[in-house]
């Protein structure tokens, strides 16, 4: 027998985006049904942000042991117990999981259905013996790794982000296809934990970030022993007695890459299969569900958010999407996605973080812009920490309006927060100039860059004349 439910909102997907919508609506006393067929918490908790940062943290400690002698602390080469590293990663997931659990959301007043969901018409979803007829639907089904059509790949036991954190033994030689943020983060983490690592990409490594910033990161990664093959096309892959062999070609001709394990970090695509979207008049693109600026699909009763919408694939972007659709659904207030205010971060060492327009984008949209830079090496805290690799790059428009900021260096992902607030609120450089930063901190780097913008005023004849005049009054 089928039970009919008529909530105000039906959320499909229990990852970051879906949980944010469900929790937010429930907080206002709105009836919500949440449907999740797999693990609560979705990709971020189970296969993405949380386990990757836990692994990176372990690798950072190993690296710190190796570098301790620079501070007069003698430690030597660290001994890596990869089973314990794996246990650390799992313990972090387990510590956070209760926040995303069925029990917690049930206690919040959300009706949780653990089943597959499928639209049966424009206004109805079927899931686990329930028929849900909601006023609004929110699709937040996340994304999965894109499996490239490489001959021979189906014969290889490759890894993705959903399986790499299950490893209890460190690969001897990890080969990674894809030099985006995930590929480069995993490359450095595994290298610091003792694996040999090779990364192969058909284009430029970290291609979505400013090349001026990525150059500093890539130099560090290569200096740590990671082989990065850019502009290299993979022709085929084959299984060998020791693992696998990639057959490739680049501008220098054919080459082969051999390794013991293969990780695919080849981009992600929104999960849409099996949802019956065509029945609900919802279109799908090559990357996910087609939405407008307010994140609505072709069916006005249905929104798609987070990775499922095929745009910005970050947990914080998913949470941002959730806030936008709650604004529309609960308060009937218009809400439009503004990707310029969503920061991007890559958690390599040094980190890269950016928000707003990069230099090229700013010049195309605004013509003449000011580009300000300040190096980490000129910062006292960076010198004390021996973290002098990096710089901040600020792009400003008319009257010093901040158009974009990129930071590469220690703590970049933390420092970008302030700049995200400034850009989201349309602030200018003068607002940074008037702020006081504690000394010694790396956040001073940004203020030093801003002060450099105003430095020419000290040489302006008019300003000097005014000062001379004021001096006459004592």
CATH code at 432? 3.30.390.30
Element (H, E) at 249: strand 244-250
pLDDT over threshold 90, residue 340 = yes
CA-CA distance, 34 to 42, in Å (whole number)?
13
Spatial strand order of the sheet with 344-346 comes to: 344-346, 351-356, 402-409, 391-396, 370-375
My answer on whether 365 and 449 are in the same domain is yes
| Share above pLDDT 90 across residues of the chain, in percent, rounded to a whole number | 92
Which phi and psi (to 5°) does residue 174 adopt?
-90, 125
In a 13 Å sphere around the CA of 90, the CA atoms on its Cβ side amount to: 11
My answer on whether 32 and 107 are in the same domain is yes
Does residue 18 contact residue 42 with C-beta atoms inside 8 Å? yes
CA-CA distance, 143 to 138, in Å (whole number)?
15
**Please, which pLDDT band fits residue 321 given cuts at 50, 70 and 90?**
very high
Give the residue numbers spanning the domain of 426: 350-459
Span 314-330, average pLDDT: 96
Q: What is residue 256's predicted lDDT score, i.e. its pLDDT?
A: 97
> Is 222 inside a domain boundary?
yes
Q: What is residue 474's predicted lDDT score, i.e. its pLDDT?
A: 67
> Is 344 inside a domain boundary?
no
**Please, which pLDDT band fits residue 456 given cuts at 50, 70 and 90?**
confident
My answer on whether 306 and 205 are in the same domain is no
**Please, which pLDDT band fits residue 412 given cuts at 50, 70 and 90?**
very high
My answer on whether 94 and 19 are in the same domain is yes
My answer on whether 234 and 131 are in the same domain is no
Instruction: Kindly tell me the burial class for residue 336, based on how many C-beta atoms sit within 10 Å of its own C-beta (0-12, 13-18, 19 or more).
Output: exposed
Query: Given 267, 294, 322, which residue is the final one in a domain?
Result: 267
My answer on whether 140 and 158 are in the same domain is no
> Is 470 inside a domain boundary?
no
Look at the chain and report how many structural domains it folds into: 3
Span 230-250, average pLDDT: 97
- Of 271, 412, 414, 397, the closest CA to residue 340 belongs to 397
Q: Partners of 32 in the beta sheet?
A: 9
**Please, which pLDDT band fits residue 339 given cuts at 50, 70 and 90?**
very high
Structure tokens at 16: 């970051």
Q: What is residue 442's predicted lDDT score, i.e. its pLDDT?
A: 95
Span 94-107, average pLDDT: 96
My answer on whether 7 and 136 are in the same domain is yes
Q: What is residue 468's predicted lDDT score, i.e. its pLDDT?
A: 85
pLDDT digits (tens, 9 = 90+) for 146-168: 999 999 999 999 999 999 999 99
> Is 376 inside a domain boundary?
yes
My answer on whether 282 and 384 are in the same domain is no
User: Helices H, strands E: what count in the chain?
Assistant: 14, 23
Say which CATH number the domain at 188 has: 3.50.50.60
| Share above pLDDT 70 across residues of the chain, in percent, rounded to a whole number | 100
pLDDT over threshold 90, residue 100 = yes
My answer on whether 245 and 389 are in the same domain is no
Query: Given 245, 267, 289, which residue is the final one in a domain?
Result: 267
Give the Cα-Cα-Cα angle 442, 446, 448 (nearest 5 degrees): 95
The pTM of the whole model exceeds 0.75: yes
pLDDT digits (tens, 9 = 90+) for 169-206: 999 999 999 999 999 999 999 999 999 999 999 999 99
pLDDT digits (tens, 9 = 90+) for 56-97: 999 999 999 999 999 999 998 999 999 999 999 999 999 999
My answer on whether 29 and 107 are in the same domain is yes
My answer on whether 249 and 300 are in the same domain is no
> Is 467 inside a domain boundary?
no
> Is 364 inside a domain boundary?
yes
pLDDT digits (tens, 9 = 90+) for 289-310: 999 999 999 999 999 999 999 9
**Please, which pLDDT band fits residue 326 given cuts at 50, 70 and 90?**
very high
> Is 388 inside a domain boundary?
yes
My answer on whether 163 and 253 are in the same domain is yes
Query: Given 290, 319, 339, which residue is the final one in a domain?
Result: 339
Least confident of 46-50, 230-234, 428-432: 46-50
Three-class secondary structure of residue 366 per DSSP: helix
> Is 471 inside a domain boundary?
no
């Amino acid at each position: 027998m089928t039970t009919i439910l008529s909530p105000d909102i039906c959320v499909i997907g229990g990852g970051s985006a879906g949980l944010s919508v469900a929790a937010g609506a429930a907080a206002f006393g709105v009836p919500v049904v949440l449907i999740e067929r797999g693990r609560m918490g979705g990709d971020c908790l189970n296969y993405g942000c949380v386990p990757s940062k836990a692994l990176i943290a372990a690798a950072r400690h190993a690296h710190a042991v190796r570098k301790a002698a620079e501070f007069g602390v003698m430690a030597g080469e660290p001994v890596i117990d990869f089973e314990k590293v794996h246990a650390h990663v799992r313990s972090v997931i387990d510590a956070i999981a209760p926040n995303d659990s069925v029990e917690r959301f049930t206690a919040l007043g959300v009706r949780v259905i653990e089943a597959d969901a499928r639209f049966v018409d424009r206004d109805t979803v079927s899931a686990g013996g329930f028929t849900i007829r909601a006023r609004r639907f929110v699709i937040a089904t996340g994304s999965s790794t894109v499996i490239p059509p490489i001959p021979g790949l189906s014969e290889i036991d490759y890894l993705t982000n959903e399986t790499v954190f299950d490893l209890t033994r460190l690969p001897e030689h990890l080969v990674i296809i894809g030099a985006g943020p995930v590929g480069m983060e995993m490359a450095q983490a595994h290298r610091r934990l003792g694996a040999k690592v090779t990364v192969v990409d058909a284009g430029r490594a970290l291609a979505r970030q400013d090349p001026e910033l990525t150059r500093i990161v890539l130099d560090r990664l290569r200096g740590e022993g990671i082989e990065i093959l850019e502009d290299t096309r993979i022709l085929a892959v084959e299984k060998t007695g020791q693992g696998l062999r990639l057959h490739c070609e680049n501008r220098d001709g054919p080459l082969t890459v051999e390794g013991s394990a293969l990780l695919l970090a080849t981009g992600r695509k929104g999960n849409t299969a099996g949802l019956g979207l065509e029945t609900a008049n919802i279109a799908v693109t090559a990357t996910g569900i087609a939405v407008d600026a307010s994140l609505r699909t072709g069916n006005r009763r249905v929104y798609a958010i987070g990775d499922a919408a095929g745009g910005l694939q970050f947990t914080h972007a998913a949470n941002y999407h959730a806030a936008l659709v709650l604004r529309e659904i609960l308060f009937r207030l218009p809400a439009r996605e503004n990707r310029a205010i969503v920061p991007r971060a890559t958690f390599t060492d040094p980190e890269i973080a950016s928000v707003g327009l990069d230099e090229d984008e700013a010049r195309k949209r605004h013509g003449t812009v000011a580009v300000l830079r300040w190096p980490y090496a000129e910062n006292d805290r960076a010198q004390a920490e021996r973290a002098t690799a990096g710089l901040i790059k600020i792009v400003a428009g008319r009257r010093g309006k901040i158009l974009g900021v990129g930071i590469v260096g220690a703590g970049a992902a933390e420092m970008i927060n302030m700049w995200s607030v400034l850009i989201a609120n349309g602030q200018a450089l003068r607002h940074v100039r008037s702020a006081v930063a504690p000394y010694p901190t790396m956040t001073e780097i940004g203020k030093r860059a801003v002060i450099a913008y105003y430095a020419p005023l000290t040489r302006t004849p008019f300003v000097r004349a005014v000062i001379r005049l004021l001096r006459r009054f004592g």
